Amino acid sequence: MKKLFLIPVWVAAVTPGLFGQGVGIGTLTPHTSAMLDVQSTEKGFLLPRMTGAQRQAIASPADGLLVYDTDAQKLFQFQQGTWRFLIDNSFWARSPTRQRVYNASDSIGIGTAAPSERLHVANGNVRVSGGDIKLDLGNIQMNKPDGTLQLQAAGENKGFVQLSGHDLRLGTNASNTDGTVIIRTQGADRVTISEAGLEMTGNGKLMRSNTASNNLLPACYGQVREDGSVIFSTPNASVRRNSEGTYYVTYPGMTIESVALITPRDSNVRVYTGFNPNPGGGVYIEFSNISTKVRQDASFNFLVFNP
């Protein structure tokens, strides 16, 4: 009589799964956090390989599905309803010595699929927070007929540089009621432009190359009546009547080199001017009658330059 022996066969790849454990290939102790643990020192893990058409033909791919596209020669992942290839270090590489990621050859487009520069941002803003923008051996170009470089403090517009048609504007914003425009050289303020006007500091001179260091701006000016009273003048000027037909015009810092232009307001007088270096002196002005040659009082305009 024949006896039948039943020998139970356990499939190693299935049995662990029945108990909620991981499957190990090349190891008898798969890691407790892995459902599939493949270990080898001689071979790698090979994903399914297929053409681009075959990849696109996969029905209802799950998010996270991985395949290798042999046409594109790229590793693709299905994510949020579309296939996306994984970027490797042929696009971005990390420096082995410094904390930096770099791309040595490609152009980068943000908001555009066809960047025309190494970095091309389209239809958006570029913000740098807590850092500087540094430019070596290059230019900054703004292609806009009313392009504005706007300067802010605490988010409020304070100053700007703007192209307006063919004109270049430089100034403070309308809301900046306390601001002035200051031009500096060698670390010092030289020209101040404010609501009150234009003020030159430093040596206070307006010069041209062909006038050397001589000042082209008047030191003071004004208009005087016959009795020596001032009709109007710059506040630094002082006028006094000395005697019949003679006057003095002075201002702080006047020197013997000061040059005065005196214009009589009366047509029947002639004028003589000189300089009196004595204390209380200044530009000496003398009027005399053209016919009688006798001194007489006259109203006049004065304009004084200090070289």
Most distant CA pair in the chain: distance in Å? Answer: 173
- Long-range contact pairs involving 258-262 (C-beta distance under 8 Å, separation at least 24): 258/219, 258/283, 258/304, 258/305, 258/306, 258/307, 259/304, 259/305, 259/306, 259/307, 260/285, 260/302, 260/303, 260/304, 260/305, 261/302, 261/303, 261/304, 261/305, 262/300, 262/301, 262/302
The pLDDT score that the predictor gives to residue 63 is 95
HSE-up of 252 (CA within 13 Å, CB side)?
A: 3
The pLDDT score that the predictor gives to residue 19 is 54
| Contact status, residue 21 vs residue 30, Cβ threshold 8 Å | yes
Distances (CA, A) of 2 to 5, 7, 30: 10, 16, 43
Would you state the structure tokens that stand for residue 282, as one six-digit string? Answer: 């200044």
Q: Rounded to an integer, what distance in angstroms lies between the CA atom of residue 117 and that of residue 272?
A: 73
Q: Rounded to an integer, what distance in angstroms lies between the CA atom of residue 18 and that of residue 35?
A: 12
- pLDDT tens digit sequence for 165-199: 899 999 999 999 989 999 888 888 888 888 888 88
Q: Give SS3 for 181.
A: strand
| Contact status, residue 36 vs residue 30, Cβ threshold 8 Å | yes
The pLDDT score that the predictor gives to residue 194 is 86
Distances (CA, A) of 16 to 22, 31, 32, 37, 230: 6, 12, 12, 12, 113
| Contact status, residue 266 vs residue 298, Cβ threshold 8 Å | yes
pLDDT tens track, the chain, 307 positions: 455 544 444 444 444 544 567 899 999 999 999 999 999 999 999 999 999 999 999 999 999 999 999 999 999 999 999 999 988 777 778 888 888 887 778 888 899 989 998 889 999 888 888 899 888 988 988 888 889 999 999 989 999 999 998 999 999 999 999 899 998 888 888 888 888 888 877 777 777 778 777 778 888 999 999 999 999 999 999 999 999 999 999 988 888 888 899 999 988 999 999 888 777 788 999 999 999 999 999 999 999 988 7
Element (H, E) at 15: helix 15-18
The pLDDT score that the predictor gives to residue 72 is 94
Task: Identify which of 223, 248, 229 has the alpha carbon closest to the alpha carbon of residue 303.
Answer: 223
Neighbours of 282 (CB within 10 A): 22
- pLDDT tens digit sequence for 18-39: 456 789 999 999 999 999 999 9
HSE-up of 253 (CA within 13 Å, CB side)?
A: 11
Ranges assigned E (strand) in 8-137: 23-25, 36-38, 49-50, 66-69, 74-79, 82-85, 93-94, 101-102, 108-110, 119-121
The pLDDT score that the predictor gives to residue 7 is 45
The pLDDT score that the predictor gives to residue 104 is 79
